[in-house]
Amino acid sequence: MCDSLSQADPNCSNFRLHEEVLGTMNARPSALFDAFKEDHAVLGRGLHEISEYLRGGDLLAAKACGDRVDRQAGAHIAFEEQFFYPTLRRLLGDADVDRLYHEHGQGLSVIKALARLPEGAPLSEAERRTMLQDSEVMEAHVAECGELFGTMGRLPPVEQDALYRELVALREKAPRWTELAVKAETKKK
């Protein structure tokens, strides 16, 4: 059940796209690229599995996978929302970056819904469809990361190094994705 989350899949089409982008941009990808790529593989695979389980109606497996994604993707989501996306605003503009945040919100809603779901509880067809749609939106979001690699390459090396340090620090803290949302909601009050 969701066993492969911790392994990157070099055969995945998203990965091939990443490698092509990296290849045209930088013969020796930086530590930031490697870490970013690795995180995206974990998140992409986890979301793909959640969508598959939801399609097949295996809610117990979807819930277990959601819990794992919650733990494993928290640092990556925090890195993007707190450091990378604010940097992207000056390169991509507000509209694109606002959309990226919104898509994270849709992904988070799936993780939260799965966490709240009591084991063995029934799920209405409408709820299952909504969760599947949100998971698919977040999957597409992750698949777009090839474009972000190109944008990341336009940042000065010193800025890339600083971003990498933030990512490493967040990986050490290893927050849950759902904890980030609680913090954000608390901040607004």
Residue closer to Fe ion by CB (options 80, 134) is 80
By CB under 5 A, residue 134 contacts Fe ion: no
Indicate the residue among 117 and 164 with the shorter CB distance to Fe ion.
164
The stretch among 22-30, 76-84, 106-114, 159-167 that binds Fe ion (CB under 5 A) is 76-84
Q: Report the distance separating Cα 27 and Cα 77, nearest Å.
A: 27
Which residue from 77, 19, 21, 18 is spatially nearest to 46, judged by alpha carbons?
Answer: 77
Closest distance of CB 139 from Fe ion, Å = 11
Nearest residue to Fe ion, using CB?
80
**Least Å from the CB of residue 100 to Fe ion:** 6
80 binds Fe ion (CB under 5 A): yes
Considering the complex, state which of residue 5 and residue 117 has its C-beta at the smaller distance from Fe ion.
5
Cβ 116 to Fe ion shortest distance, Å? 23
Residue 39, interface with Fe ion (CB under 5 A)? no
Check: CB of residue 22 under 8 Å from CB of residue 149. yes
What is the C-alpha to C-alpha distance for residues 189 and 141, in angstroms, rounded to an integer?
29
Count residues near Fe ion (CB under 5 A). 1
Those residues with Cβ within 8 angstroms of residue 50's Cβ, 6 or more apart along the chain or in another chain: 62, 65, 66, 69, 110, 114, 135
Residue 19 exposed, middle or buried by CB count within 10 Å (0-12, 13-18, 19+): middle
Query: Whole-angstrom Cα distance, residue 172 to residue 5?
Result: 18
Q: Which stretch binds Fe ion (CB under 5 A): 72-80, 88-96, 116-124, 160-168?
A: 72-80
Would you give the DSSP letter of residue 83?
I
Taking the least distance from each CB to Fe ion, the nearer of 29 and 107 is: 107
Cβ closer to Fe ion: 59 or 170? 170
Provide the binding-site residues for Fe ion, judged by CB under 5 A: 80
